[in-house]
Amino acid sequence: MSKFLKEKGIGFYLTVCLAVLAVVTAIVYAVSYRNYVGFMSWPAFWLLIGGAVLAVGLHFIKLGKVSPWLLAAAVLAAVLLYIECLYSYVVVVLVGIDLNSFSNQFILCTSLFGACLVLSIVNIYLKQVKQVKEEA
Annotated domain spans of the chain? 9-124
Mean pLDDT of 22-39: 93
Chain centroid to Cα 112, Å, comes to 8
Taking the C-alpha atoms of residue 130 and residue 72, their distance in angstroms, rounded to an integer, is: 21
Amino acid 133: pLDDT? 65
> pLDDT, tens digit, for every residue of 73-120?
999 999 999 999 999 888 888 887 777 788 899 999 999 999 999 999
